Structure 1
């Protein structure tokens, strides 16, 4: 099975690498540099947006982290990361909640602006505090988003929680902290992070000391 993984270690490609490690599918990594390479004509044939990550699986292109995670879960049936019938509602609900309201709430806050009260309906996610409270509720009283079992939803949503706690874009709350700790203990998570960290260190060394 031919599966090419286009990424940069300092990107959301870390989400997809973790998913690939969980899936057990063999893949070939292709590091894409920011700047002319990522925005150039060659890579835009893979992703016209000129951003990573992306995968090409047997000639089929998939972009967007949430879509890639769902796709890989379906391809890697032996890994049992796709939802069972009774898990589908929570699985799809929380993946797309993270891709929509959570992403929007965190991004707008990080950029220094928030919807005014009369704009909250149009914004879709309401406001940051509401979004965080709903996400907290989804994780309270359960080990994973679909209940007791880890799925691809935990890779995608868990990556946002993990990243947010690390960089302060998601508040430290018991439900978030214990969930992130549980995910960080997974062998596939550790392998993925180790590989991306090694790539980051290699890039830093290649750039040399900064004045």
Structure 2
């Protein structure tokens, strides 16, 4: 029996974690939860007291938050080659852009989507500074290389690629050519397609 258990819902950020599990290529069990019912049940609240997905259980360890799940899985299974060697320029880029997407990028996109405006002269108080600055920084990082670490796909691309893909789909991220090419490149990977098929099948099963 697998020690890896993914708790998710097809209409959640759990799709990102699901893609990561497919990239990992190790046996895992998927637990499909519903909003307001099984996601708030005592059994799952014992795993994630916030009652939200995704969550990953690996033996006795529990990991929540999608970027953390991606980083943990890459660390726990180094033989799968989903992270660069520590202390290298590639490792610096890996950590930088994984957490950039989980922090400034998500903050900037959510703020813009909800109409939250940073007061004049107060941009230093928010982690993303401004929406334009955030997108410009990411565009510069992705310009001239196929992946965030250069020539090599890593767990960081799962998170960054998902963030850009969803943003482009829903119009919360500008359709810049660099973003579109990168999102298409990473989301056409076999593991990404498998994860998407699993989630779409679950949505149909739920009716």
Query: Which band: TM-score by shorter chain?
Result: over 0.9
Other structure's SS at 1:117 match: coil
Distance of 1:24 and 1:76 partners within structure 2: 10
Deviation sequence 1:103-134 (CA, Å, 0-9, x none): 11111111221212222111121111111111
Does residue 135 of structure 1 match 2:135?
A: no
- In structure 1, list runs of 5 or more residues that go unmatched: 206-211
- In structure 2, list runs of 5 or more residues that go unmatched: none
Aligned residue in 2 for 1:17: 18
Alignment match of 1:116 (pick from 111, 116, 119): 119
Deviation sequence 1:51-102 (CA, Å, 0-9, x none): 1000110111011101100111122223200112421110000011111100
1:25-174 aligned at under 5 Å gives the runs 25-85=26-86, 86=88, 87-174=90-177
Distance of 1:28 and 1:41 partners within structure 2: 20
Distance of 1:112 and 1:37 partners within structure 2: 32
Distance of 2:196 and 2:83 partners within structure 1: 22
Aligned residues: 204
User: Does structure 2 retain, via aligned residues, the 8 Å contact 1:158–1:183?
Assistant: yes
Other structure's SS at 2:122 match: helix
Per-residue deviation at 1:48? 1.2
Distance of 1:162 and 1:149 partners within structure 2: 19
TM-score (norm 2): 0.95
Per-residue deviation at 1:7? 0.2
Deviation sequence 1:152-201 (CA, Å, 0-9, x none): 01001111011111111111111101101111221001100111111112
User: Does structure 1 retain, via aligned residues, the 8 Å contact 2:161–2:187?
Assistant: no
Distance of 2:120 and 2:84 partners within structure 1: 37
TM-score (norm 1): 0.93
